[in-house]
Structure 1
C-alpha cells in the first residue's frame, strides 16, 4: 500500500535529480484513457512526466481530475462539430483517502485526491484533485467537471483548486518540495497558501519557478481584484496586501505577472519565445530573468520504433514499406470516420492541432481557385486531412472547422476527422508525409506537434515560429516559409504572403521531390527523424529543468 501520509516517489531517485519538485499543471496528456487535457499544454506536461519517470527524477505532478474532461468531439447530422460531455470513470486511479477543505467564495469546499501510480502509464507520480464529492453542494461539485469552464467564476475556482488546493495537498502528503513549479499561471493562487506557510515573499520566492507559454501580453489571464477577493482567491490576504506583494496597482490582477514576481526563476518554451517574453516583460520591474527551455516530446511514447530501426540499419526498402503500412493503417480510421478512402501512395498533408485563429487551420483553402487546382492535380496528386479541437465556445474556430467539413464534401481526397486526442494524434502523424504548421509569426510560443510528426516519418512544412526556428534546415530536414519583415505588414498582408509562399514551396519543391526523387525525399524524412531526437526529446528538456530551473 502507498503511504500517502509521508509520500515519497516510489522508485530510487537518481542522485543528480534529488531536488524534490512539485509540478502544477491544469492539464496532463499522459495516455489516451485519461482524458484530462485539451491540447499542447497537456501534451507537454505528459511528456515531461514520462521523462521524469525515465530519468528517475524526484518530481510529482499536481493536476485536476476533470469529470467530463475537456469535451468529446462528435458530429451533428451534417457532419459538423458537436461538443458532448460524458462522465469519465477510471478504475486505474487510486483513491488516496485524503480529503481536506479550502475556502472558495467564502464557502468551505471539500477536495479529494486521487493518485496515478508511475507503473500504470510509465510516468512520474501524478495527483489529481476533485471537488466532485457528496460532502459538497452541487455548485462546488461542478468546479472540477469541465476543463476550462467558460464561466468566469468557475474558471477562477478551478485555478484555486489547482493552486491553493494543490499546495495544500503537498502538506497533507508531507511531501514538502524544494521547488514548486507552475507550468503556466493557472496555479498562481498557490503563492497565497505558501505565504501563510512560509511567512514571507522572500521565503516563497526561494522555492517557486514559473514557465510561461504565452507569447503576447493580451493573452495572459487577468481578473478584477475585487472579484478574486470575493472568490477568496487571496486566501486571507486583503486586496491592499496583495497589491503591495505583487506591485500591481489599479483594479486588475495579472496572473502571469504575479507568478513572475513570486518566482526566483522563469522560462519561455522555445528560444524565440524566450526573446519574445523578455521583450514583452522588459518594462516591468521586480521580475526574474526569463530564460528558455524548449518544449520537447517523449520518444518512447511517440516514436515509431520500427522506422528508427530501419533508418539505423539502412534498410531503405523496409523503411518505405513501414511508412506505407503506417499510412494505410491510419487511413482506415479516416475512412471509418469520414467515408473518404485515401491512397497510401499519394503525398498526404495533415494539419492537426488545437483550432485557434492564429494557427490559421484553413489558410491553404483561402484561395479557392488555387486550392481546387491543387486538389485536382493528376501529375502530382495530394491528399489533405484536418483534425483538432476548437474550444467549444470559440465560435470563430468552430466555424472554420465546419467550413472545412463542408469543403471536404467536394473532394474525395480531403477529410476532416473528429476525436483529436492522443491516439488519433499519433495515427495522423503516421499518416502524414507533410505535417503542415502555419501559425501567424510570432504567435506560436513553441508548438510541439511537429516534433512527434518527425518521430513518425513525416516532414515539417512550417512558418518560421516556435521550436521550428531551432530545428529548421530548409530542404534538408523540413520545408520553411521564409520570414520577411512581418512587423512591417498588416495581418492581411502577412496572411497573403504566407499563403503564396505555401503554394510556391509545395508546387515547386515538395511535390516534385516526393514523386521524382524518392531517395532525396527519404533523406529529408530521416534527417528530420534524427535531428528531432537529437535535441527535441523530452529527456533533454526534463534534464534542463533540473539544471537551469530547480537547482538553487
Structure 2
C-alpha cells in the first residue's frame, strides 16, 4: 500500500478521468481563510481544484504554504495603501509527517508538507510545501514566507521548492503521477528532477504539460543561467548538459521557453491567447504544440443562486430586488472602509483585480474635464469603486492605487477599497452593475474576474481581450472597440479612453436610466451566456481531453 492511501480521494474516479495528474501552482485561491494567493492565477487554480473534485478526477494539487501569504493590504494614516506581513495560522491543515531535504544554494533544506483534506473546502487532495521548520536556519525557513519574494535568489529558491520539492513529495507519497501539470513555469525545476530520475528528455516529455498565462515574450521570466545553476535549479545537472537539453545557449535562461521544450503539450488560456502564444513562440525550434483551453471559474462557488432562481422563474421584480440587496451589502463595506454612503439605485461601476500598469485602473479618469462632468450628474448619477492589490514592490502600480485614493477624497461617489481577496471579490461582483475591465490589448491572457461578475448579475464593460471575444454577443456585454494597434501605446491608450467614455455617456448610462427593460435583458443574457461554457467544469474536462490524454 502506498503512503498516498492515507490522503486518497473521497470518491471512486470517473473512468473518463483515470489519468493520474499532479497540478503544480505557486498560488491557489480556494477559500477566504487560506490566504496563499495574489490574483487571477490563484483564482483560476482554486476553481480548477473544486471542479476536479466535482467531476471525480484522479487529480491532486501541489502548492506552497506561504507563512505570510502575499501580504495583507492595509492603510496608512492618510488612507494610502500599506503592506502588512502577518503570520497565518491554518488549523484546518493536517501534518503529513513527511520530511525530506532538497538542495538550495549548495545547502540541504528540510521540507515538509501540510495536507488539505477534500471535505474542508470541496477540493481534490492538496499538499502545501513549507520550509518553516526548526531544523532550518532562518534563510532556509524564509523560502516559504512570502509569495513572489522580490529578492531574485529567494524567488529562485521558491521555484526550486515548488518544482523539485513538489516532485520529491510525490515520490515520498509513492504517488506515481502520469502527468505533471505546471500552471505557469514556476515549477519548471520539476522537469530537471524528472530528467535526473530518468536520464531521458523523452521520458520527461511523456509526463510534463504546461499552461502559459503570459501573452508577450518580455513578460515571461528570465534569470541568469549561472545564478540558477548556483542555486540548484537544475537538480545537479551540469550547465553544459542543461544547455544541450533545453537549447538555451545565452546567459539568460528563459523559463517559459524551456518549459515549452520539455513539455509534450502546452496551452494558452483563451482562444485569442492560444493564437498569440503560437505566433509568439513560432520563431523557436523544438516547441511543443500549443492548444487553447479557455480559463473558467467554479460556478458552484461563485454564482448567486437567488439571482439565477429568480431569472429562471421569470420573476423580474425579485431579480431586481435581489441585485439591489447585494449592492446594499457591498455598500456597507464601502461605508465601513471609506465613510462613503453610496446609493443602491445609482449605476455602480466596479474596477477590481490585481493592480498592474497594463490593466490601466485609472484610464477612465484620464480626461479630467469629461470625467468630472459624468461624475457631477445628479439626474443620472454614477458611482465607481476600485479595489485590488498591487505587487508591493511595483511602485508604479502602488502609485496609481494611491492617486485614486486621493482622487476619491474629492468626490462622494468614488471609493477605493483595500483587502481584495475572495470574500471582498465576491461582494464587489455581487454589488456591481458594470464590471469594468480595460487592459491594453492583447495583454490580458484571459481575465476571469469578468466571468464571476457575470455569475452575479454584473454586465461586463471590457476591451476586446482575453475571454471576451468568446463571450460577447453584442447583447450581453459592452465591448470597447480595438484601437489602431500600429500606433504608439500612448495613442492606443487615448483611443481606448475616448471609446470608453463615449460608450459610457452615450450607451451605458442612458440604457441604465432610460431603458431599464433593455438593461435587464443584457443582465439576464450575461448571466445565461456565461454558463455552462465559462464554468470550470468544462475547463477541467477539456484538460483531460486535450492535454493530459494527448
Question: If the length of structure 1 is used for normalisation, what is the TM-score?
Answer: 0.98
Partner SS for 1:111 = strand
Task: Note if 1:496 corresponds to 2:494.
Answer: yes
Residue-pair matches, total: 549
Residues 229 and 239, structure 1, Cα contact 8 Å, conserved in 2: yes
The residue that corresponds to 1:537 in the other structure is 535
Q: CA deviation at 1:369?
A: 1.1
* Matching of residues 113-512 of structure 1 within 5 Å: 113-474=113-474, 476-486=475-485, 488-512=486-510
> Residues 30 and 186 of structure 1: is their aligned pair in 2 closer, same or farther, counting only changes over 3 Å?
same
The alignment partner of 1:533 has SS state of coil
d(CA) in 2 for partners of 1:342, 1:116: 40
CA distance in 2 between counterparts of 1:33 and 1:549 reads: 32
User: Do the aligned partners of 1:93 and 1:116 also contact (CA within 8 Å) in 2?
Assistant: yes
Name the CA distance, whole Å, in 2 between partners of 1:25 and 1:242. Answer: 23
Distance 1:10 1:87 in 2: 31
Give distance in 1, aligned partners of 2:82 and 2:191: 38
Q: How far apart are the structure 1 equivalents of 2:132 and 2:437?
A: 38
Contact 1:44 1:297 in 2 (8 A): yes
Distance apart, 1:469 and its partner CA: 1.0
Please say if residues 185 and 256 of structure 2, whose CA atoms lie closer than 8 Å, have aligned partners that are also in contact. Answer: yes
Stretch moving more, 529-538 or 146-155: 529-538
Q: Is the 8 A contact 2:294 2:446 kept in 1?
A: yes
How far does the alpha carbon of each residue in 1:293-340 deviate from its partner, in whole angstroms, 9 at most, with x for none?
A: 000000011000000000000000000000000000111011101101
Q: CA deviation at 1:542?
A: 0.3
**Residue 526 of structure 2 aligns to a residue in which SS?**
helix
- Superposition deviation, residue 473 in structure 1: 1.8
SS at match of 1:32: coil
1:518 paired residue number: 516
CA distance in 2, matches of 1:198, 1:550: 20
Gap runs ≥5 in structure 2: none
Separation in 1 of the partners of 2:220 and 2:29? 22
d(CA) in 2 for partners of 1:538, 1:330: 26
CA distance in 2 between partners of 1:360 and 1:237 (Å): 43
Is the partner of 1:500 in helix, strand or coil? helix
Tell me the CA shift for residue 125 of structure 1.
Answer: 1.0
Q: What is the rounded CA distance, in whole Å, between the counterparts of 1:140 and 1:5 in structure 2?
A: 30
- The answer to whether the 8 A contact 1:25-1:63 is kept is yes
Q: Distance in 1 between matches of 2:224 and 2:9?
A: 39
Q: Quick check: 2:7–2:117 contact (8 Å CA) kept in 1?
A: no
1:223-277 per-position Cα deviation (integer Å, ceiling 9, x unaligned): 1111111101111100100000001101111111111101000000000000100
Q: Name the counterpart of 2:61.
A: 61
Tell me, yes or no, if the aligned pair for 2:4 and 2:175 is still in contact at 8 Å: no
Instruction: Please report how far the alpha carbon of residue 535 of structure 1 lies from its aligned counterpart in structure 2 after TM superposition.
Output: 1.1
Contact 1:191 1:262 in 2 (8 A): yes
Q: Is the 8 A contact 2:27 2:45 kept in 1?
A: yes
SS of the equivalent of 1:41 reads: helix
* Residue ranges of structure 1 left out of the alignment (5+ in a row): none
Q: d(CA) in 1 for partners of 2:549 and 2:361?
A: 40
> Any conservation in 1 of the 2:196–2:237 contact (CA below 8 Å)?
no
SS in 2 for 1:273: helix
Task: Report deviation, 1:7.
Answer: 5.0
User: Do 1:8 and 1:175's aligned partners in 2 also have CA atoms closer than 8 Å?
Assistant: no
**Partner in structure 2 of residue 109 of structure 1:** 109
The Cα of 1:345 is off from its aligned counterpart by 0.4
- Contact persistence 1:473–1:479 (CA under 8 A): no
Is contact 2:3–2:172 with CA below 8 Å preserved after alignment? no
Q: SS state of the match for residue 165, structure 2?
A: helix
1:373-430 per-residue CA deviation (whole Å, 9 max, x = no partner) reads 1111122110000000000110000000000000000111110000000000000001
| Deviation at residue 9 of structure 1 after TM alignment | 2.4
Question: Displacement, 1:3?
Answer: 5.1
How far apart are residue 207 of structure 1 and its match?
0.8
- The Cα shift of 1:6 comes to 6.8
Q: Deviations over 1:63-100 (max 9, x none)?
A: 00000000000000000010110000000000100000
Deviation at residue 519 of structure 1 after TM alignment: 1.1
1:543, distance to aligned residue in structure 2 (A) = 0.3
How far 1:122 moved relative to its partner?
Answer: 0.6
Aligned equivalents of 2:288, 2:130: Cα separation in 1: 33
CA distance in 2, matches of 1:463, 1:489: 17
* SS, match of residue 534 in structure 1: coil
1:26 corresponds in structure 2 to 26
